[in-house]
Amino acid sequence: MADTTFGPKGWTPERLGTLAGKTYVITGANAGAGFQAARILLGKGAEVVMLNRSAEKSTAAVSELKQEFGTAAPVRFVRMDLAEQASVRKAAEEVLKTTPRIDALICNAAIAQVPTRQLTPDGFESQLGTNHYGHFTLCGMLFDCIEQSQGRIVVVASLGYNMGLKTIRFDDMNWDAGYAANTAYSQSKLAQMMFAYELQDRAEAAGRNVEVYVCHPGSSATSLISTSGSRTMRAIWWLMTKTPMVQSAEQGAYPEVMCATEEALTEQRALYGPTGTREFVGPVGKGTLNAHAYDKPVMARLWERSEQDTGFTWTL
């Protein structure tokens, strides 16, 4: 049954009051839903720090936002390549030096549908290394600062977690055998969700004051597929964007902004996003969360494996 917590139209930015004095850190914010999230937050008076791979695109994005909100608009970027653990650590250190408070870290950036198997500089399958391992280390490094602000971590997942193997293939996480673009992508997004739900458990057990929410943008007209997908996938996606089954990038940003800001949001073990047709589009609220996403033994094993692979040990 559709979530009606926020009325028949679901959650929209109209619910937001002023966010003056608050700071939001967003990965992958120079385009798509991340950029639209930055726009919404800036429009409510918040400060936004973008963590993006491309300095050129980031400069253009900041310029566009300052044109809209004024030259004094508090938006800036720190260069970070999620696919490189060294880059993630360097960027996190820069954020900690320059950003005294973090009201929410929005883990928005991702790559998807990489047509042929690729490895990150650290030797991880590219989608797992970028989408999961990069955010795993980033969240860990910024966690104390987020807690000091009584802030939140928002993991932007995907309905793709329901596809593929629906678990983690621990014996071959890099897909040395049997690589398929969608299957590997699905595992990377499932890993992100499992990380978030395991973090909820560990933070609660340790008495740490950080809320962790998981959302997805539904089917939104962003550059995700066109950036990293195959030519065939890009063509299929282009056709889909012409149908009612795809919504705007701005609408795709609503779930992550809601999870970063909404005070009435209390249930953390949930998946938030569109609640309309197939949960691709429609009013934003609490959607369907399938149990394989919080399989406790798998979550705990993934956490330990993630610490081992990244070399980053959380302190909770």
User: Is the separation of the CB atoms in 263 and 133 below 8 Å?
Assistant: no
Is 185 among the catalytic positions? yes
Burial of 257 (0-12, 13-18, 19+ CB in 10 A): buried
The structure tokens listed for 254 are 């609503």
User: Is the separation of the CB atoms in 35 and 58 below 8 Å?
Assistant: no
Q: Which residues pair with 119 in a beta bridge?
A: 125
Residue with tokens 């993934």: 302
User: Is the separation of the CB atoms in 303 and 196 below 8 Å?
Assistant: no
In degrees rounded to 5, what are phi and psi of residue 115?
A: -65, -35
Going across the sheet that includes 272-274, the strands are 75-79, 47-52, 23-27, 104-107, 152-156, 211-215, 272-274, 284-286
Given the residues 24, 185, 197, 272, the one annotated as active site: 185
User: Is the separation of the CB atoms in 244 and 281 below 8 Å?
Assistant: yes
At 253, which helix (H) or strand (E)?
A: helix 249-261
Catalytic residues: 185
